[in-house]
């Protein structure tokens, strides 16, 4: 990572006549841009005919950047194969679960398991690497673009063969697979590996184990494609770091943990969903997730938008004055050392011409470009923040396998949404001024005081033991309902729910009672969507349903404590419970909280620290720092102060 804040966006000079480029770089310099992502969707221009390479325009673009002191996240352009590829190798196009082949004419039209796609992708990646290996503008490899954004799962015959190979390496025998998938049910027993298919359209519910493994396989297939490109790049440019832009928190088809483990630096994209209530809290979740994926180290925001996107139909909301700055500083506050946008210059043509950019259609004399310039200057002034870290005392557990398993349509309730529930718990912490990491259930929890488990339907034996161990050693745990229910193959853990954590929680549950209507608890709180017929074994009951059955319990376990909720509490009551467990764990907010004002701290290795206070409200606010100073943050403003 650079020792300044990286600032810039996707530069797509190939969309413009070369006369425009000089103006581009002059305006970039005016805006303080020091980094661009380049060549992401340029395969069809770099290799216009199979095996014929034309680099002239990219040479000139790279040279122009170098002369102007701007560095490049240079892409391997493999996210969008050219029309000649689809034309010559139609078998490499992706196929959906209904057997429909998807054609070229947009992007990512390839099957992730296609050998010919891999071969051609590696060839163009190699050409780019050989050409620019020593170029002074090259800072970072931007491998592909948003793996799996549109083609995360392919159901073609090549995918079926690759899925079988993946299963053979996961299961020692067909017997083991039959057992894991529970194929005795509905006469699904396999007697030959060749009978196994991707979960294509079926008359009724597909086998849950098959579905879950297919999602794991599909994510792994994308990681493998990344690894193939990365290995090639490392051979040619061993000293140049590589990344690919994830979609952490927004897109759940790819296992971000598996990807992150292979990146030299985690980078991610985040698009504000304007229609969401308090979208800046969703932003904070994505940023916290990105930092956690990078092991707490600074990460790179590869893309966000200066204003509206053009894909949240029916209404794409433009950002209000100041919102671009608040969004950018919120990412910075949560550990980003680079703030980048899609894209530098707003396209004139193509499917994203209505997507905002740093330099809008109307030119530089605009609200957006003025804000872009001001932000560039501000980030240059915050160079000292680069390299500092956000330290969280709370971890919130989430796992892709669990999300995927719960996605199977045959559930006790289709109204439970583990991602939204995790975000709701995260929002309660946000409002309390407490920053949390997002952690994998099998990850290292030893540095935390409090672990939250909003809804972890599936947990492996190792993950289950990990949480128990955390509590045994003195940690505080809060588990939400429908957690710890199944094993890693989506098989029920028997003997009373939640089978993984009956001892930890001191509770056993006989039956689930999804709720049609909210119900009132003894405390006056409301439970929604879900309830359970639970019985305490060693826990104490802190709140109950009208029936007297427990809604909230607390169990002492080893040197620690484990709380359990058997319903989805309303926001205020949930905030109360989270406040209680934070208190028990001794977790402190970054500063005194004011509703709607985001407070986060970054700390330098030398002990110096920066308090970010971002006022998302229309009223001026006064924040009190931990050492008792007061800081005024005007309506819509953000400040960064020592502390
Ligand atoms: C991202 C993608 C960019 C652009 C952007 C705006 O998903 O990486 O290429 O499409 O969204 O829609």
For residue 446, count other CB atoms closer than 10 A to its CB.
10
As a whole number of angstroms, the distance between CA 493 and CA 500 comes to 7
Q: What values do phi and psi take at 497, rounded to 5?
A: -85, 160
Q: What is the mean pLDDT of residues 54-77?
A: 98
Omega within 30 of 0 (cis) for the link into 630: no
Dump pLDDT digits (tens) for 184-215: 999 999 999 999 999 999 999 999 999 999 99
Q: Are strands 507-512 and 532-536 parallel, antiparallel or unpaired?
A: antiparallel
Contact 161, 217 (CB under 8 A): no
Contact 439, 465 (CB under 8 A): no
Residue 121 Cα to ligand 1 middle (Å): 20
Judge if the beta carbon of residue 145 lies within 6 A of ligand 1: yes
H runs (alpha helix) in 382-522: 400-406, 418-431, 461-472, 502-505
Catalytic residue list contains 303: yes
pLDDT for the residue numbered 312 = 81
Q: What values do phi and psi take at 633, rounded to 5?
A: -120, 110
pLDDT for the residue numbered 471 = 98
For residue 410, count other CB atoms closer than 10 A to its CB.
9
Judge if the beta carbon of residue 80 lies within 6 A of ligand 1: no
- How far does the chain reach from its first CA to its final CA, in angstroms? 24
Q: What SS3 class is residue 14?
A: helix
Contact 531, 567 (CB under 8 A): yes
Q: What SS3 class is residue 473?
A: coil
CA 319 to chain centre: 22
Protein residue with its CA nearest to atom 5 in ligand 1: 342
Please report the sign of the dihedral spanned by the C-alpha atoms of residue 184, residue 187, residue 191, residue 197: negative
**Which pLDDT band holds residue 176 (cuts at 50, 70, 90)?**
very high
Among 14, 269, 355, which is best to mutate for testing ligand 1, by the most ligand atoms less than 8 A from CB? 269
Q: What SS3 class is residue 49?
A: strand
For residue 603, pLDDT beyond 70: yes
As a whole number of angstroms, the distance between CA 62 and CA 57 comes to 9
Protein residue with its CA nearest to atom 6 in ligand 1: 342
As a whole number of angstroms, the distance between CA 428 and CA 424 comes to 6
Judge if the beta carbon of residue 12 lies within 6 A of ligand 1: no
As a whole number of angstroms, the distance between CA 452 and CA 479 comes to 6
Contact 37, 302 (CB under 8 A): yes
Q: The tokens of 575 are what?
A: 């905030």
Per-residue b or e along 264-288, where b marks 16 or more CB atoms closer than 10 Å to that residue's CB = ebbbbbbbbebeeeebbbbbbbbbb
Average per-residue pLDDT in the chain?
A: 97
As a whole number of angstroms, the distance between CA 292 and CA 299 comes to 9
Q: The tokens of 37 are what?
A: 């992502």
How far is CA 333 from each of CA 316, 431, 614, rounded to the nearest angstrom?
A: 26, 15, 9
Ligand 1 atom with the shortest distance to the CA of 302: 8
**Which pLDDT band holds residue 3 (cuts at 50, 70, 90)?**
confident
H runs (alpha helix) in 382-455: 400-406, 418-431
Q: What values do phi and psi take at 395, rounded to 5?
A: -120, 140
C-beta contacts of 46-55 below 8 A and 24+ residues apart: 46/77, 46/124, 46/127, 46/128, 47/82, 47/124, 47/127, 48/82, 48/84, 49/84, 50/84, 50/85, 50/88, 50/120, 53/124, 53/127, 55/127, 55/131
DSSP code of 237?
-
Q: What values do phi and psi take at 409, rounded to 5?
A: -70, -15
Among 36, 150, 352, 354, which is best to mutate for testing ligand 1, by the most ligand atoms less than 8 A from CB? 352
Catalytic residue, chosen from 18, 19, 47, 146, is 146
The candidate with the shortest Cα–Cα distance to 614, out of 331, 355, 350, is 331
pTM for the whole thing? 0.98
- CA dihedral 642→449→585→608, nearest 10 degrees, is -10
Q: What is the mean pLDDT of residues 104-116?
A: 97
Residue 350 Cα to ligand 1 middle (Å): 13
Dump pLDDT digits (tens) for 257-284: 999 999 999 999 999 998 889 999 999 9
Strand partners, 535: 508
pLDDT for the residue numbered 313 = 82
- Give the side-chain half-sphere CA count within 13 A for 411: 21
pLDDT for the residue numbered 29 = 98
For residue 1, pLDDT beyond 60: no
The candidate with the shortest Cα–Cα distance to 44, out of 90, 104, 126, is 104
For residue 388, pLDDT beyond 60: yes
pLDDT for the residue numbered 462 = 98
With tokens 């297939």, the residue in question is 221
The candidate with the shortest Cα–Cα distance to 456, out of 397, 530, 516, is 397
Contact 625, 641 (CB under 8 A): yes
Angle between helix axes 56-67 and 115-132 (nearest 10 degrees) is: 50
Q: What is the mean pLDDT of residues 498-524?
A: 98
Among 43, 250, 267, 342, which is best to mutate for testing ligand 1, by the most ligand atoms less than 8 A from CB? 342
Dump pLDDT digits (tens) for 310-349: 998 889 999 999 999 999 999 999 999 999 999 999 999 9
Q: What values do phi and psi take at 439, rounded to 5?
A: -125, 155
Please report the sign of the dihedral spanned by the C-alpha atoms of residue 296, residue 297, residue 303, residue 307: positive
The candidate with the shortest Cα–Cα distance to 293, out of 435, 146, 443, 145, is 443
DSSP code of 195?
G
Contact 151, 218 (CB under 8 A): no
For residue 28, pLDDT beyond 80: yes
With tokens 């990365």, the residue in question is 230
Catalytic residue list contains 146: yes
pLDDT for the residue numbered 642 = 92
H runs (alpha helix) in 382-495: 400-406, 418-431, 461-472
Q: Are strands 526-528 and 35-38 parallel, antiparallel or unpaired?
A: unpaired
Ligand 1 atom with the shortest distance to the CA of 40: 9
């Amino acid at each position: 990572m650079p020792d300044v804040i990286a600032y810039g966006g996707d530069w797509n000079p190939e969309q413009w006549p070369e006369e425009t480029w000089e103006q581009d770089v002059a305006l970039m310099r005016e805006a303080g841009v020091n980094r661009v992502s380049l060549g992401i969707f340029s395969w069809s221009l770099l290799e216009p005919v199979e095996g014929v390479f034309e680099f002239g325009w990219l040479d000139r673009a790279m040279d122009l950047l170098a002369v102007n002191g701007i560095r490049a996240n240079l892409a391997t352009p493999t996210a969008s194969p050219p029309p000649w590829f689809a034309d010559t190798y139609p078998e490499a196009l992706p196929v959906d679960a209904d057997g429909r082949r998807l054609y070229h004419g947009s992007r990512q039209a390839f099957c992730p398991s296609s050998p010919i796609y891999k071969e051609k992708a590696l060839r163009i990646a190699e050409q780019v690497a050989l050409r620019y290996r020593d170029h002074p503008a090259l800072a970072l490899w931007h491998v592909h673009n948003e793996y799996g954004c549109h083609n995360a799962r392919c159901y073609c015959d090549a995918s079926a063969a690759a899925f079988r190979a993946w299963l053979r390496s996961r299961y020692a025998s067909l017997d083991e697979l039959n057992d894991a998938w529970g194929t005795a049910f509905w006469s699904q027993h396999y007697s030959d590996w060749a009978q196994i298919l991707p979960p294509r359209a079926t008359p009724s519910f597909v086998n849950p184990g098959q579905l879950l493994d297919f999602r794991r396989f599909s994510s792994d297939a994308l990681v493998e494609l990344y690894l193939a490109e990365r290995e090639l790049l490392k051979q040619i440019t061993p000293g140049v770091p590589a990344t690919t832009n994830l979609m952490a928190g927004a897109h759940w088809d790819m296992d971000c943990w598996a990807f992150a483990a292979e990146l030299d630096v985690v980078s991610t994209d985040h698009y504000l969903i304007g229609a969401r209530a308090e979208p800046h809290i969703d932003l904070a979740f994505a940023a916290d997730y990105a930092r956690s994926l990078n092991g707490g180290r600074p990460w790179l925001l590869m893309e966000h938008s200066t204003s509206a996107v053009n894909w949240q139909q029916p209404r794409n909301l433009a950002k209000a004055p100041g919102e671009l700055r608040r969004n950018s500083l919120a990412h910075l506050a949560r550990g980003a050392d680079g703030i980048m946008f899609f894209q530098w210059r707003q396209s004139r043509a193509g499917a994203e011409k209505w997507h905002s950019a740093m330099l809008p259609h109307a030119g530089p004399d605009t609200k957006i470009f003025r804000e872009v310039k001001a932000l560039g200057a501000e980030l240059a002034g915050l160079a000292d923040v680069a390299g500092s870290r956000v330290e969280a005392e709370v971890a919130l557990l989430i796992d892709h396998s669990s999300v995927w398993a719960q996605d199977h349509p045959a559930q006790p309730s289709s109204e439970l949404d583990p991602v939204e529930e995790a975000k709701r718990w995260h929002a309660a912490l946000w409002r309390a001024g407490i920053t949390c990491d997002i952690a994998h259930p099998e990850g290292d929890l030893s540095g935390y005081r409090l672990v939250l488990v909003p809804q972890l339907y599936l947990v492996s034996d190792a993950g289950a033991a990990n949480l128990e161990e955390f509590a045994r050693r003195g940690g505080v745990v809060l588990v939400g309902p429908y957690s710890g229910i199944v094993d890693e193959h989506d098989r029920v853990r028997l003997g009373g729910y939640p089978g993984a954590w009956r001892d930890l929680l001191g509770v056993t549950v006989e039956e689930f009672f999804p709720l049609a209507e909210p119900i009132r608890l003894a405390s006056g709180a409301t439970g929604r969507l879900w309830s359970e017929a639970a019985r305490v074994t060693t826990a104490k009951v802190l709140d109950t349903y009208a029936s007297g059955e427990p809604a909230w319990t607390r169990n002492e376990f080893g040197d620690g404590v484990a709380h359990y909720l058997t319903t989805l509490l309303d926001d205020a009551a949930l905030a109360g419970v989270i406040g209680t467990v934070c208190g028990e764990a001794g977790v402190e907010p970054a500063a005194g909280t004011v509703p709607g004002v985001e407070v986060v701290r970054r700390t330098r290795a030398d002990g110096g620290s920066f308090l970010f206070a971002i006022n998302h409200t229309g009223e001026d606010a006064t924040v009190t720092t931990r050492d008792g100073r007061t800081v005024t943050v005007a309506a819509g403003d953000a400040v960064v102060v020592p502390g």
